[in-house]
Amino acid sequence: MIDQIIIPKAGKSQILKAFKVESEKNIAEYSVRVKVAFSGINFADIIMRLGLYQDAPPFPFVPGYEFSGEVIEVGSKVDRHKVGDMVMGGTKFGGYSSEIILPENQVVPIGHLSLEEAASLPVSFLTAYLVFFEEARVRNGDKILIDCATGALGQLSFQMLNTGGGSDLTIVGLTSSETKKEIIESYGAKAMTHSEFINSSEKDFDIILNSQGGASIKEHYKRLRPTGKLVCIGASSIFEGGKRSWIKVIKTVLEFPKFNIINLMNDNKGVMGLNVLRLFEGPEYLMSLLEKVDMFDLKPAVDKVFDASKASEAHQYIEEKKARGKVLLKWN
């Protein structure tokens, strides 16, 4: 039997349920079976638990996009991995599970990372890589704004920009909490609260990473310099405190600006989007990017590990904005 956490229906964090299922007897010739050590929790898991994520499968389902663990069985044609290898991987749902069977190209060796760090890495690394190195293409001297600076993605972004993003970067990081500014400053960046930023004269950004969505997009767009790029990756302002409020949802959605191409031309600015989770549909490309981890000197910020049976508490911890990095589930 294997252990899993399901979202039975939309609801508060307490809705998450632990249950047991039979383990698959046989695996396909190009698949590997991984005994999961840690599963990463992503912000998207919370949005889908609230029933607000358009790409989520119908309830009930097992959420989870990333994990680390040990290969315990390989299919007859697998040549990349062997039993006993420590790996990390990405999966489109099903990650909150004590055992995962996946095609061999959806897992990679953890290298120098610990199992905790490895489970924290895939989604944040791929997102930061695609934003800063594929879409916006950071260059020496760039001025960069990161609006989700204290979480797993923000902290990995600082590390990737500092160790592989070129020289003379100026980075500003935003937080909703005065006490979390120290996290941003520890990476040599300038820390501001969202309201301090809005009331400031900070401008001329080359790259802005926007995860709040809604009205903040218009505000951030104004702060780009000509040829600057705004990359939109989320809508975290859609909820507050782990509760769904349709008024807040509708308000946030309506506040998403519509950009007129003629205006973009005249402003000399670019607006881009990214949904890395959709790219898990064609995992070969994503997994080839994961092999670039060694280009950077990374130490993913693992904040807190919860026993998997305490998944509700883990979600609540993130919703209450207590997280200072990645939050993980641990399987026994």
Ligand X SMILES: NC(=O)c1ccc[n+]([C@@H]2O[C@H](COP(=O)([O-])OP(=O)(O)OC[C@H]3O[C@@H](n4cnc5c(N)ncnc54)[C@H](OP(=O)(O)O)[C@@H]3O)[C@@H](O)[C@H]2O)c1
**Which residues are near ligand X by CB under 6 A?**
42-44, 123-124, 127, 148, 150-154, 175-177, 180, 211, 233-234, 236, 239-240, 274-277, 318-319, 321, 323
Q: What minimum distance in Å lies between the beta carbon of 185 and ligand X?
A: 13
Helix and strand element counts for the chain (H, E): 11, 15
Specify which residues 99 forms β-bridges with: 35
Q: Is the peptide bond before 283 cis (omega within 30 degrees of 0)?
A: no
Q: What minimum distance in Å lies between the beta carbon of 53 and ligand X?
A: 10
Q: What minimum distance in Å lies between the beta carbon of 82 and ligand X?
A: 31
Specify which residues 238 forms β-bridges with: none
Nearer to ligand X, 71 or 123 (CB): 123
Nearer to ligand X, 141 or 241 (CB): 241
Nearer to ligand X, 97 or 216 (CB): 216
Q: Specify the DSSP class assigned to residue 303.
A: E
Q: What minimum distance in Å lies between the beta carbon of 190 and ligand X?
A: 14
Specify which residues 34 forms β-bridges with: 71, 100
Q: What minimum distance in Å lies between the beta carbon of 94 and ligand X?
A: 18
- Nearest CA to 230 among 242, 219, 220? 220
Nearer to ligand X, 95 or 234 (CB): 234
**What gap in Å lies between CA 159 and CA 307, rounded to an integer?**
28
Burial code (b: 16+ CB inside 10 Å, e: under 16) for 129-166 equals bbbbbebbebeeebbbbbbbbbbbbbbbbbbbbbebbe
Chain residue at closest Cβ approach to ligand X:
151
Q: What minimum distance in Å lies between the beta carbon of 323 and ligand X?
A: 4
In the three-class reduction of DSSP (H, G, I as helix; E, B as strand; rest coil), residue 107 is classed as strand
- Nearest CA to 111 among 283, 285, 294, 288? 294
Q: What minimum distance in Å lies between the beta carbon of 154 and ligand X?
A: 6
Nearer to ligand X, 71 or 302 (CB): 302
Nearer to ligand X, 106 or 120 (CB): 120
**What gap in Å lies between CA 295 and CA 138, rounded to an integer?**
15
Q: Residue 218 belongs to what H/E stretch? A: helix 215-222
Nearer to ligand X, 80 or 310 (CB): 310
